């Protein structure tokens, strides 16, 4: 219930935010159009530029709301194309298409999306970090504009920092994961990153050269002084000369060489060490569990147990206790299964069906004296090679006998199992009886049902369908599993 309320509140908040931002975009568009008309520029470049800029702003916000946000909230899958959204917004900011006010708004929106991301989806680590760095860079640039820093520092932030962030992300998420496990990793890493630094510097120099010779300043200088002032105040437009291009190029080279390369190495090394510690901890816990299991297994000598059961079986036959002998035999088969095959990851489906039949037979022996209890089994015999995780079906039957049998009230249990090609169909239908207040089992959930749900999710993702239904008097489960032959 609380989850549904939170989802509803979150949806309503998203709607309110969307319409507020749409209002800001519409108001900004209206004011800029009126300003262009006032300055008698309505038939020339500024009006077209205003309309184009606000269209880009509108599209950018829609991409963040309806593409990036859902991609970051998904439990599965990669948010690959979100990179193009961040690149698109950054390029529009650098070129002045998106002014600093809306850029700051986009940065805040990206941060909100980042903090509300699905942290369990490890496949999107690159895209999550790209979102955080993009938003942080935009906010830093907005801050540089507001505090009135020098043009050189703005150029550095405008060109060198984005280039450094791109190289950093590529190093941490692509280069280092492939090089780190190998010998001479630092030498290989430094050599490759040096070549990448040279390449990125050359690309950045070409970009700056094109920007300097694009003719944008000639067009801008033909506009009125008020429009020129407004564009330069709200965007990242600057005059660029040969000396500026040289400074940007050199500073980019040394930033990546002195800062990006060692920072990326140390951050990846730190994260990798943390992962290794987690793996070591898990192995330690697993070792403890194995030790405990081996200790428990050592408490019962299987040979002694089976010999004792065989002795009881022979004694029961000598005394003409056929039902007792059958029960002892089935119990022995079950114990052998639990001590041997239950340790395997996968077993033949036929062996799991045998265990299921043995359990149901023992339960029938227990309740056979009551005529008010009906146990109906339609378990298809199977001799094929399909494999299944052991002890996956029995908890549903155990739960049925635990909650579906009453020695004083009419009770019924129906178990059916069929196979068709590689698909298993399993149904359990049983009555439900309200337990007395003094019954220690009252209020307890089904035996191992939650555990089985988790195992199904881990072992058969997207290959099973589990339906559980319950009312006041009956409980029903339907399980379908796509099995395979190992």
pLDDT at residue 443 tops 50: no
For the chain, the three-class secondary structure string (H helix, E strand, C coil) is CHHHHHHHHHHHHHHHHHHHHHHHHHHHHHHHHHHHHHCCCCCCHHHHHHHHHHHHHHHHHHHHHHHHHHHHHCCCCCCCCHHHHHHHHHHHHHCCCCCHHHHHHHHHHHHHHHHCCCCCCHHHHHHHHHHHHHHHHHHHHHHHHHCCCCHHHHHHHHHHHHHHHHHHHHHHHHHHHHHCCCCCHHHHHHHHHHHHHHHHHHHHHHHHHHHHCCCHHHHHHCCCHHHHHHHHHHCCCCCCCHHHHHHHHHHHHHHHHHHHHHHHHHHHHHHHHHHHHHHHHHHHHHHHHHHHHHHHHHHCCHHHHHHHHHHHHHHHHHCCCHHHHHHHHHHHHHHHHHHCHHHCCCEEHHHHHHHHHHHHHHHHHHHCCCCCEEEEEEECCCCCCCEECCCCCHHHHHHHHHHHCCCCCCEEEEEEEEEECCEEEEEEEEECCCCCCCCCCCCCCCCCHHHHHHHHHHHCCCCEEEEEEECCCEEEEEEEEECECC
State pTM to two decimals: 0.58
Q: What is the mean pLDDT of residues 235-247?
A: 67
pLDDT above 90 covers a percentage of the chain that reads: 27
pLDDT at residue 316 tops 60: yes
Q: What is the mean pLDDT of residues 90-108?
A: 88
Alpha-carbon distance of 122 to 401, in angstroms, equals 41
Alpha-carbon distance of 431 to 471, in angstroms, equals 10
Q: Which one is predicted more confidently, 93 or 181?
A: 93
Flag the least confident range among 26-40, 65-79, 215-229. 215-229
Q: What is the mean pLDDT of residues 317-327?
A: 68
Tell me the pLDDT band of 447, cut-offs 50, 70 and 90. Answer: very low
Indicate if the alpha-carbon torsion angle 92, 96, 98, 100 is positive or negative: positive
Q: What is the mean pLDDT of residues 252-272?
A: 91
Check residue 87 and give its pLDDT. 92
Q: What is the mean pLDDT of residues 394-422?
A: 87
pLDDT at residue 114 tops 70: yes
pLDDT at residue 324 tops 80: no
pLDDT tens for residues 352-399? Answer: 898 888 888 878 877 777 778 889 999 998 888 899 988 888 889 888
pLDDT at residue 167 tops 90: yes
Q: Which one is predicted more confidently, 404 or 58?
A: 58
Domains and CATH numbers, the chain: 2-284 (no CATH), 364-482 (3.30.565.10)
Burial grade of 383 (CB within 10 A; 0-12, 13-18, 19 or more): exposed
**Cβ(276)–Cβ(231) below 8 Å:** no
Check residue 127 and give its pLDDT. 92
Q: Which one is predicted more confidently, 66 or 295?
A: 66
Q: What is the mean pLDDT of residues 454-467?
A: 86
Tell me the pLDDT band of 309, cut-offs 50, 70 and 90. Answer: low
pLDDT tens for residues 78-97? Answer: 787 899 999 999 988 888 78
Check residue 481 and give its pLDDT. 94
pLDDT at residue 6 tops 70: no
Check residue 341 and give its pLDDT. 63
pLDDT at residue 60 tops 90: yes
Mean of the per-residue pLDDT values of the chain? 79
pLDDT tens for residues 187-227? Answer: 889 999 999 999 989 988 888 777 666 544 444 444 444 44
> Which bin fits 391, alpha (ψ -120 to 50), beta or left (φ > 0)?
left
Q: Which one is predicted more confidently, 26 or 315?
A: 26
Tell me the pLDDT band of 232, cut-offs 50, 70 and 90. Answer: very low
pLDDT at residue 24 tops 80: yes
Tell me the pLDDT band of 259, cut-offs 50, 70 and 90. Answer: very high
pLDDT at residue 471 tops 90: no
Take residue 388 and report the two structure tokens written for it. Answer: 């299944």
Check residue 240 and give its pLDDT. 65
First to last CA, the chain: 43
Q: What is the mean pLDDT of residues 27-54?
A: 72
């Amino acid at each position: 219930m609380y989850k549904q309320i939170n989802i509803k509140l979150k949806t309503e908040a998203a709607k309110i935010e969307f319409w507020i931002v749409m209002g800001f975009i519409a108001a900004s568009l209206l004011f800029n159009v009126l300003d262009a008309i006032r300055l008698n520029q309505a038939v020339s470049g500024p009006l077209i530029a205003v309309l184009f800029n606000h269209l880009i702003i509108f599209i950018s916000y829609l991409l963040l709301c309806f593409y990036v946000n859902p991609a970051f909230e998904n439990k599965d899958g990669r948010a690959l194309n979100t990179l193009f959204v961040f690149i698109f917004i950054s390029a529009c900011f650098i070129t002045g298409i998106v002014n600093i006010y809306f850029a700051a708004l986009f940065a805040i929106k990206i941060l909100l999306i980042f903090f509300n991301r699905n942290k369990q989806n490890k496949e999107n680590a690159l895209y999550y970090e790209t979102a955080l760095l993009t938003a942080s860079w935009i906010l830093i640039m907005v801050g540089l504009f507001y505090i009135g820093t020098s043009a050189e520092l703005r150029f550095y932030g405008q060109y060198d920092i984005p280039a450094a962030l791109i190289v950093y992300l590529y190093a941490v998420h692509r280069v280092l994961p492939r090089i780190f496990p190998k010998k001479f990793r630092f030498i290989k890493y430094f050599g490759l990153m040096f070549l990448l630094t040279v390449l990125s510097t050359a690309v950045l120099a070409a970009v700056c050269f094109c920007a300097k010779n694009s003719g944008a300043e000639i067009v801008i200088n033909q506009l009125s002084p008020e429009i020129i002032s407004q564009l330069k105040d709200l965007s990242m437009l600057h005059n660029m000369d040969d000396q500026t291009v040289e400074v940007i190029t050199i500073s980019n080279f040394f930033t990546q060489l002195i800062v990006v390369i060692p920072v990326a190495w140390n951050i990846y090394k730190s994260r990798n060490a943390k992962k290794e510690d987690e793996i070591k901890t898990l192995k330690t816990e697993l070792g403890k569990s194995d030790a405990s299991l081996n200790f428990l297994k050592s408490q019962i000598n299987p040979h002694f147990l089976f010999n004792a059961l065989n002795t009881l079986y022979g004694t029961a036959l000598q005394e003409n206790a056929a039902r007792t002998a059958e029960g002892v035999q089935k119990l022995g088969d079950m114990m052998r299964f639990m001590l041997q095959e239950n340790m395997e990851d996968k077993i033949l489906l036929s062996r799991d069906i045998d265990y299921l039949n043995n359990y149901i037979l023992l339960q029938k022996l227990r309740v056979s004296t009551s005529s008010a209890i009906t146990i109906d089994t339609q378990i298809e015999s199977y001799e094929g090679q399909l494999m299944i995780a052991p002890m996956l079906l029995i908890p549903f039957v155990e739960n049925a006998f635990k909650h579906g049998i009453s020695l004083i009230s009419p009770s019924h249990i129906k178990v059916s199992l069929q196979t068709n090609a590689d698909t298993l169909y399993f149904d359990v239908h049983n009555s439900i009886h309200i337990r007395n207040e003094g019954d220690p089992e009252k209020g307890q959930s089904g035996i191992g049902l939650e555990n089985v749900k988790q195992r199904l999710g881990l072992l058969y993702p997207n290959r099973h369908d589990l339906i559980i239904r319950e009312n006041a008097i009956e409980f029903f489960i339907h399980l379908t599993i796509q099995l395979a032959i190992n």
